[in-house]
Amino acid sequence: IGMNAISVADRYLDGSMDADDAIKKLDDLYDRMEYVDDLTPDDEYYHYDFGVRAYISSLRTYIYLDDYAKIKSTRNELAKDVGEDKR
């Protein structure tokens, strides 16, 4: 899911996806991570999954605000966590 969010951010930054479509796709990804609400800090992937979901939420906000610098920064932080290259 994190890599999908990176792809959405990249397509938005490249201009191949508009804000409405990007936000809709990120909303879908965020909803797919609803299970995080049921995890506890003792669960093995709690911190990782919670972090990915938080990055997705941030990306939605920054795309809505059209803040390219924050979109890129958040995208790169997420990429670092999922083992992808920075942009």
55, 2 Cβ separation under 8 angstroms:
yes
Residues 6+ apart with CB under 8 A from 74: 9, 55, 58, 59, 62
Q: What's 34's DSSP letter?
A: G
Q: What's 45's DSSP letter?
A: T
Say what the pTM is: 0.93
Percent of the chain with pLDDT over 90: 99
* Nearest alpha-carbon partner for 75 in 86, 64, 65, 63: 86
Task: Give the pLDDT confidence score for residue 12 in this predicted structure.
Answer: 98
